[in-house]
Structure 1
C-alpha cells in the first residue's frame, strides 16, 4: 500500500497553535511536511473563543484570538506544507522499514517517516446544561460559546460557570451588555487571578455559591427568566434575562487514539524532555503532552513544537544539527526576504 502513497518526512496531526507552529518550524528544517486537521478549519481549541483578547504571547501586542489564528495559519503555510482538513486520523501501522501508514476516518491513508501529535485534548465538546428541555433554546438565546460580542449588546446576560472562559466572557461583555450576572456553584473561581480580580472590581453581579436550576419561557422559544438556587440553603431566586451563556467545561475524547499503545495519563500523553512518546518515531507537543517542566500557555506550545520537531529530525538523521538556524541566518529565508524587499 505504501508504494501507492507519497512519503512525507513529518506528518503533524492537529491544527491548533502547536500544530501550526510545528508546520512552520518543520519548513525551517527543510522537511517535507503534512498537516492534518479533523475539523474543516485550523485553530483547534482557540476556535472556541475567537473574540477573546490574547495578551500573553511574546512579542505580540494584545490581539483578538481569531486574528492570532489567522496569523498562525499564515505562518504555518510559509514553506507550503500539504494541508489536509476534515480528516480525523484513527489508526497507525508501523511498517517494516520504520515508516508509518496513518488511516483517517474517511479511509484515506497517509505515509510518513515520523508523526507529531498536536491534538490538544482530542475532539472537544461543550458540557451541556443538565436541565430537561434546555436544548430547545440552543437555537435562540442559550449559548455554549461566544463567537462575537455584538449580539449581546444592550442585553441582560447570565453566565453559568466559573472557569477561565466564564471569567473572560464576563469581562469582555461587561462594557457591551446592559448587565452581566455570573452564577457559580463554588465560592472560588478558576482562571488567572488578574482576570478574576478585574471581574470582581467591575459592575458584574456575582452570585455564589449558586447554580441554575430552571429555565423559564413565555413563548416556548427563548428564555425569559432563570431560577437559580443556593447550593447550600436551597433558597431560590428568579432572574430576568435576554441571553444565557453556559461554561461548564469541556468533554474531551481521544477516540481510537487510546488504542495506539501510547503511554497516557488521565488527560495527556507522557513524553520525555525531548517530546518523545513511548512509540518510536512518534512525538507530541502542546496541550496533549505532559512532562516535568510543561508550561500550559500558547507561548509554551511553541517551545514544545520546536523540541518535538528537532527530535523528529534527529530521529531521521542523527547527524543533523540539533536545531534550525535562526531565521536571520537560515538559508530558507533568503528568497523570502528578497520578496519582501529586505537586503541581505
Structure 2
C-alpha cells in the first residue's frame, strides 16, 4: 500500500442505533473501532422523528426519540472509537491479506480487518407529494416530518398518509392542534392496531378513501385550502388548513453498495444466524439485515449489534471468547464505575 493508512479491527458503516451500539460493544471487546456515517450527525432514521415517544426499549422509560439518540451517542463514545461523519462509503476492496480498503464518495480511504454494515435502509428520502408546485410550500407550511409539536399548537392540520408515522403524528397532535384531519387513499390504515384504534376513538377527523389532489394559496406563499378527491367516486371536498403534513413513506437508495456482490433483496441483505453476509469478513446488523428470527424493533437492533460484533471478533481470533463479559464483571468498566462513584474505592 503506497499510502499510510491506520488499520482498524472493526469499521462500522452507519451511525443509527445499530451502528452506535455496535461501537459501544466493540469497545467492550477491546477492539480498535471506527464508525463512519454518511450524514453530518449520528442517529440514522431516528433523526426523522425526534419528537416521537419511544416506549419499547427494555429498561428505558418512555423517552423522546431525540433524547434516545443523545444517550445512544454518549454510550457509543464510551471507549473512544474513531467517528467519521459526512462520508458515504461506496467501494470496498479486499486485500491479499484479507483486510479491506473502504473508499468514500469523495475519495477518503479506510483500512480495516472487518466490516459491519449498519446502514438501515440506505440513504433515505421522504416520498414527496406528487402535485405540481408543491415544493414552493416546503419552506412555509408543507411538512414531510414533524421536528417539534409546539409550532402546530392551535392550528388546523391535515395529515396525508395512513402508515405508522401518519397515525402517530395524528395522535401526538390531537389536543395540541385546533383540529387534525387524516386523509388516506385506502379504507384500512397500515399503522399498529392499538394506535389506529386510539386515533379513531379521538377527535381526529378521518377522510377515507381520499387523496390530496390540489393545494391552494391566496398569498402564493402558504397553503390555506386543500382539495381532496375520493379515490373511487372522484367526488371532491375543500378543506381549510393551516399546515399540511405528508407521510407517504420513505424512498431508499443503497447506491454502489449493490455492486459489492452482497446477497441483497430490495430492502435487506441476507445473513446467517451469526449475522455473517456472504462476503468474508463483512457482517451486518439492524434494519439492513434479514434472517428467520429477525425482530424489527430498536431492542432487536441491539441484539444484532452484539451478534455481528462477536462474529467479527471470532473471524479475527477463532480462539477468543464467544462473547464479552457482562458489564458488571467486565474489567473495562472498573475505573469508569469508580469515576461515577458507583463502586467502593
TM-score scaled to structure 2, two decimals?
A: 0.99
Within 5 Å, give how 1:159-238 maps onto structure 2.
Answer: 159-238=159-238
**Superposition deviation, residue 3 in structure 1:** 5.7
**Displaced runs of 4 or more, over 2 A:** none
SS at match of 2:327: coil
2:52 & 2:310 partners in 1: Cα distance?
32
2:341 & 2:245 partners in 1: Cα distance?
48
Matched, 1:65 2:65: yes
Residue aligning to 1:86:
86
Residue aligning to 2:249:
249
SS at match of 2:158: strand
SS at match of 1:140: coil
- In structure 2, stretches of 5+ residues that fail to align are none
Q: Deviations over 1:190-237 (max 9, x none)?
A: 121111111111110011110000111001111010000111111100
**Superposition deviation, residue 106 in structure 1:** 1.6
1:66 & 1:146 partners in 2: Cα distance?
12
2:9 & 2:34 partners in 1: Cα distance?
8
1:191 & 1:37 partners in 2: Cα distance?
29
Residue aligning to 2:40:
40
1:86 & 1:169 partners in 2: Cα distance?
30
TM-score scaled to structure 1, two decimals?
A: 0.99
Q: Deviations over 1:260-306 (max 9, x none)?
A: 00000121000000000000000000000000000000000000000
Residue aligning to 1:6:
6
**Superposition deviation, residue 2 in structure 1:** 6.9
Matched, 1:76 2:76: yes
Check conservation: 1:143, 1:246, Cα contact below 8 A.
yes
Residue aligning to 1:270:
270
SS at match of 1:182: strand
1:3 & 1:282 partners in 2: Cα distance?
23
- In structure 1, stretches of 5+ residues that fail to align are none
SS at match of 1:181: strand
Check conservation: 1:127, 1:249, Cα contact below 8 A.
yes
2:50 & 2:266 partners in 1: Cα distance?
28
Residue aligning to 1:107:
107
2:204 & 2:220 partners in 1: Cα distance?
28
How many matched pairs? 344
